[in-house]
Amino acid sequence: MPEAPPVVARHTEARLLHMVFPDHTNHLGTLFGGQALAWMDMAAFIAASRWSRTMVVTARSEQVDFNQPVHKGDLVEVVARIGRVGRSSMHVEVEVFNEQLLSGERTLCTQGRFVMIALGADGKPTAVLPLPV
């Protein structure tokens, strides 16, 4: 099967970069879980908005796994990809990587799934295009 054109990949993915500053951390100097979730939700929102070109809202976050801590001073990359599309829903897989700036070492720290719903001008769920096969 031929690969999808690059423009499709661009519209199904969002990447955000953040630096972890002291106000993002807890008393242990690691990223607050709530801050990570906020960044993940934002990336899911952008990916879903780019795909649907509508207003979107978060319907659900599910199975968020915090596997490794993210430390103050780390660079964080949040990668969101549309994995599945329903009639008005978009299922977005989100990964959080930390990167140590001096060594370049990267680690997958957190993973989760978000369900975003496309809304029409009336504020009600509206249909979105399916993903290409």
Sketch the domain layout of the chain as residue ranges.
Answer: 6-119
- Predicted pLDDT at 133: 76
Do the beta carbons of residue 94 and residue 111 sit within 8 Å? Answer: yes
- pTM value is 0.90
- Predicted pLDDT at 105: 94
CATH code of the domain occupying 6-119: 3.10.129.10
- Predicted pLDDT at 3: 52
- Predicted pLDDT at 2: 43
CA neighbours within 13 Å on the CB side: how many for 104? 0
Q: Report the chain's C-alpha Rg in angstroms.
A: 16
Rounded mean pLDDT for each run of 10 residues along the chain, 133 residues in total: 48 95 96 97 97 97 95 97 97 97 94 98 96 83
- Predicted pLDDT at 52: 95
Q: Which residue has the tokens 């290409």?
A: 132
Residue 83 is encoded by which pair of tokens? 């994995």
